[in-house]
Structure 1
Amino acid sequence: MKQLLYRRSSPEKTHHQHRQALKKSYRWLLWLALSFYLFFSSSTQSFLPSPISRRFLSQNQAFASSSTVSSLKIYVYDLPPEFNRVWLSNPRCESHLFAAEVAFHDALLHSSVRTVDPFEADLFFVPVYVSCNFSTPNGFPSLGHARPLLSSAVDLISRDFPFWNRSNGVDHIFVASHDYGACFHAMEDVAIADGIPAFLKKSILLQTFGVISPHACQEAEHVVIPPYIVPELDQWPLPETTKRDIFVFFRGKMEVHPKNVSGRFYSRKVRTEIWNKYSGNRRFYLRRHRYDGYQSEIARSVFCLCPLGWAPWSPRLVESVALGCVPVIIADGIRLPFPEVVPWSEISLTVPELDVGSLETLLVRVASTNLSAIQRRLWDSAVRKSLLFHRHGIFHGDASWHVLHALEERVNRRSFRRRRRSDLGELVRWG
């Protein structure tokens, strides 16, 4: 019976052979067509699969110079208030250096980038405030609740919405504006040991922490963002009109005994070295005690020291730029926000941690040679604006605007890679 079923007449054999030849020719034609497709689309990025819309293509090149915010569409989850708004009962939550998590959330809610239809969204923002419970007896951020709070938020959205499970969180955004980002600890050794929570490792993190070398706390897709300072600083008098009668300024924690109760060396001893070397030097205006009006001192200063604290970054970096004081960055290996648009090497000075003993010599030399050129570039209003978040919308050229630009680049890159893998998989299957 099997022989009867599989036996073919001579015409049937001819027809079968003809079909096989056509199929083989079709495969070759498909290979040729897809080769042309992949070649030309690799330069134009003309394929963007769902949920990424083709609307990127007409506006992507114009984005950096246009007055529009972005062609992205971002869905903002409306989480229960215990994940965010309840924490605002602490007024420091929306004003301290970690408050980018609040500012960016508010900016999205007031922006045309936000969509209320999650099915048309390109990205999804998860608004969880984890740094509002800020102070502890030893002065460290209280971040012990961060991991369980974020885990609860992910459990909620993965249960009630299909979008997290569809992508395993790849197209979801979180803010981690803390010392060591989503490692959620102020001590580097503990942060490294804890690492980024596994459920966040595929998502996109907006974090203030960034270093050039590989680090456990940046082992996820991320955008380095500036620390938050109140945007009203850009309403101060123009930097070039301010009298600068302080040569070198720093106010902040400067341990006389750098090893504090935690047993770690604060600022890798850099701030202690600065205090011991220059506290009696009349060119250096160094103060160890808190003063709420210290921004007025920055506005009077020529150079502002920005040494590392527990982590490399510091809000002084943004405050100095906003108020026209030349930042002196003392934090080895730091990676700064928005280097594509902020000319850091032209508006700031970088001093190796081991060379703090030569600070005076270096700054006097700069003051007598190219200080005016540095200040001219630093006092560009576009530079100041690029590092400031605004709470009531996203404005052309501000910090949130540049975050969206960085997100759009990552979306396009990820889409290209996913589609290319899919196309190659189809070729293998057809072959």
Structure 2
Amino acid sequence: METKKTKKTKKKASFHAEMKLFHTKNNNSRYKCFKHAIILSISLYFLSSFIITRHKPSTISTTTISRSKPSLALMAENRLDSSALDFKFNGMRIYVYDLPAKFNRDWLRRSGGERCSSHLFAAEVAIHRALMSCEARTLEPRQADFFFVPVYVSCNFSEVNGFPAIGHARSLIAAAIEHVSSQFPFWNRSRGSDHVFIASHDFGSCFHTMEDRAKSEGVPEILRNSIILQTFGVKGEHPCQEVEHVVVPPYISAESVDATLKSSPVNGRRDIFAFFRGKMEVHPKNVSGRFYSKRVRTAILRRYGNDGRFYLRRHRFAGYQSEIARAKFCLCPLGWAPWSPRLVESVALGCVPVIIADGIRLPFPDAVRWADISLTVAEADVDKLGGMLEHVAATNLTAIQRNLWDPRVRKALLFGDTVEEGDATWQVLVALSRKLDRSHKWSRQELLRWKKT
């Protein structure tokens, strides 16, 4: 039999065992709660960080780096938040050179600013402005895939005829390349293959307004490795596109388009069947063996000048966009070069563009389904133009107009002061992001070696 002392000892031992078990369970429970609390806190932290990063507005500084040799420390840093950009443009980054004013801002001031930034060649100004605040822009050149060289060559207006004169273009671009290659290491390492320029005039990267001279001179040797954004583009071989390039639309002011649309009749009545206003020579002049528009515009005037269906005007009219907004078909014949600003104006104002320029290559074909919104007529078939338009008007004009009024189509051809999803500069960035095999990002060690040299 157990004594009272033995029973008391057992009870005491049992009590201590229960208390030990209780504390063990309690400690385990507290540990689990603490662990879950830590996990929950970390999860909430990362979730809130993701939401804030994803939804906060872009605050990329438009400050540019000094024109002197860039700081190695600045180039070596990597402070960019890539979470948003990884889903856009394949994570591509662009560095915009801060060139001396003589390459861009001075030319803009000489032209009065407004004229150079609003005429048909002004894509060189518009793209530069938009890239300055673009989220794809980086202030750290080590992180850049591409380097944008902002040289304005179309702000030099001739005192004789008032049109842009680009005779200085080659020397101006050569001077800009000399500057960036002496101040930065990035041109020399790739021989300019990751550098981007704009040639928004007649024959693009050949930098001449006359095709025979443009062909004979070709693309400047110093640019042959680079990427050119140019309005000129044709199917097949041509000396002025023997360089990596992207075809871009001519510049048309989005503000002017909006103003015209707002002042147009609410019912959208289109009382003009076929419209054209522009240079049409009654007797085409042979200028050193060259006929303007290859005589196509003269043929249109001769054939349809007295045709009541055609609204043809030879003289300038400041409000001619209001006429486009009234027209069903807008003729877009070639000038000196195949492309025309009327292509963009017609699309933006809902008039079916009638493209008369053999072999033309049109901008952003992935974003703009040109076959669904336009008509193409061979230069040799101008005499048949009236019958062709009548046939379309009687069959599928409504379907073409419906495609034409898709707001995404209009947006893809218009440049803005900032980059907006789907606009013309956005399309440029998409095109560049497909050329990332030309990227030559440098490591810190490579930059250190460059600094020592």
Asked if TM exceeds 0.5, the reply is: yes
CA contact (8 A) 1:141 1:186 kept: no
Residue 321 of structure 1 pairs with residue 347 of structure 2: yes
CA distance in 2, matches of 1:102, 1:258: 34
3-state SS of 1:158 partner: helix
Q: Does 1:376 align with 2:402?
A: yes
Distance 1:415 1:390 in 2: 27
CA deviation map 1:85-143 (0-9, x unaligned): 11112132111110000000000012111111111111100000001113353565411
2:395 matches 1:395 = no
The TM-score, its normalising length taken from structure 2, stands at: 0.75
Selected match of 1:409 from 434, 438, 441: 434
**Contact 2:145 / 2:439 at 8 angstroms: preserved in 1?**
no
How far did 1:237 drift? Answer: 3.1
Q: Is 1:86 paired with 2:106?
A: yes
Larger radius of gyration: 2
Q: Please give the alpha-carbon distance, in whole angstroms, between the structure 2 residues aligned to 1:141 and 1:260.
A: 22
Do 2:254 and 2:416's aligned partners in 1 also have CA atoms closer than 8 Å? Answer: yes
Query: Bigger shift: 107-116 or 148-157?
Result: 107-116
CA–CA distance in 2 between the matches of 1:241 and 1:193? 51
Sort the Cα spacing of 1:375 and 1:61 in 2 relative to 1 into closer, same or farther, 3 A. farther
Structure 1 residues 179-200: Cα deviation after superposition (integer angstroms, max 9, x where no partner): 0001111111000011111010
- 1:26-65 equivalences in 2 (<5 Å): 63=88
Residue 144 of structure 2 is aligned with which of 118, 121, 125?
121
Residue 97 of structure 1: aligned partner: 120
Distance 2:160 2:287 in 1: 11
Query: 1:237 matched to which residue of 2?
Result: 261
1:86 to 1:414, Cα distance in 2 relative to 1, 3 A:
closer
- What letter corresponds to residue 305 of structure 2 in structure 1? S
CA distance in structure 1 between the aligned counterparts of 2:86 and 2:399, rounded to whole angstroms? 31
Q: 1:149 to 1:410 in 2, by over 3 A?
A: same
Separation in 2 of the partners of 1:229 and 1:329?
Answer: 18
Contact 2:193 2:438 in 1 (8 A): no
Does residue 75 of structure 1 match 2:99? no
CA contact (8 A) 1:233 1:322 kept: no
Equivalent position of 2:133 in the other structure: 110
**Deviation by residue 1:244-278 (Cα, 9 ceiling, x = unmatched):** 11110000000112225444100000000000111
For the pair 1:201 / 2:224, whether they are aligned, the reply is yes
Residue 92 of structure 1: SS of its match in structure 2?
Answer: coil
Tell me if 1:297 matches 2:320: no
Q: Counterpart amino acid of 2:371?
A: S
Paired with 2:196 and 2:271, the residues of 1 have a C-alpha distance of 44
Please give the alpha-carbon distance, in whole angstroms, between the structure 1 residues aligned to 2:356 and 2:280.
14
Please say which of residues 88-97 and 374-383 is displaced more in the overlay. 88-97
> Are the aligned partners of 1:234 and 1:385 in contact in 2 as well (CA < 8 Å)?
no
Q: Which amino acid aligns with 1:201?
A: R
1:83 CA drift (Å) = 0.4
SS at structure 1 position matched to 2:355: strand
1:160 aligns with 2:186: no
CA contact 1:140–1:186 (8 Å) conserved in 2: no
Partner amino acid, structure 2, of 1:229: I
Q: Which amino acid aligns with 1:181?
A: G
Residue type of the alignment partner of 2:428? V
Alignment deviations for residues 305-343 of structure 1 (CA, whole Å, 9 cap, x no partner): 000000000000000000000000000000000111101
SS in structure 2 of the partner of residue 134 of structure 1: coil
Distance in 2 (CA, whole Å) between partners of 1:323 and 1:407 is: 28
Residue identity opposite 2:426 in structure 1: W
The one-letter amino acid paired with 1:389 is F
Structure 1 residues 116 and 333: CA distance shift in structure 2, 3 A: same
What's the RMSD between the two structures over aligned residues?
Answer: 2.3
Give the CA deviation at 1:233: 4.0
Q: Secondary structure at the match of 1:78?
A: coil
2:194–2:438 Cα contact (<8 Å) kept: no
> How far 1:71 moved relative to its partner?
2.6
Q: Which whole-Å CA distance do the structure 2 matches of 1:226 and 1:375 have between them?
A: 20
> 1:131 aligned to 154, 158, 161, which one?
154
Q: Judge conservation of contact 1:386–1:399 (CA < 8 Å) in 2.
A: yes
- The alignment status of 1:182 with 2:205, answered yes or no, reads yes
**Distance in 1 (alpha carbons) for counterparts of 2:285 and 2:245:** 32
Residue number among 238, 249, 253 corresponding to 1:226 in the alignment: 249
Q: How far 1:382 sits from its partner (Å)?
A: 0.4
1:281: which partner in 2?
A: 307
> Can you give the 5+ residue segments of structure 1 that lack an aligned partner in the other structure?
1-50, 64-68, 417-431
In 1, Cα distance between the equivalents of 2:352 and 2:439?
40
Does the 8 Å contact 1:233/1:323 carry over to 2? no
**Mapped partners of 2:84, 2:433: distance in 1:** 11
CA displacement, residues 22-58 of structure 1 (integer Å, 9 cap, x when unaligned):
xxxxxxxxxxxxxxxxxxxxxxxxxxxxx9x9x9x99
1:266/1:310 contact within 8 Å kept = yes
Tell me the number of residue pairs that the alignment of Structure 1 and Structure 2 aligns.
357
- One-letter amino acid of the counterpart of residue 172, structure 1: H
Matched, 1:312 2:338: yes
Kindly provide the amino acid, as one letter, of the partner of residue 403 in structure 1: V
Whole-Å Cα distance in 2 between the matches of residues 401 and 140 of structure 1?
Answer: 29
Distance in 2 (alpha carbons) for counterparts of 1:318 and 1:180:
18
Secondary structure of 2:330's aligned partner: strand
Amino acid paired to 1:367: A
Matched residue SS, 2:128: helix
The DSSP-based 3-state class of the residue aligned with 2:290 is coil
Aligned equivalents of 1:121, 1:276: Cα separation in 2? 54
* CA distance 1:62–1:161, change in 2 (3 Å): closer
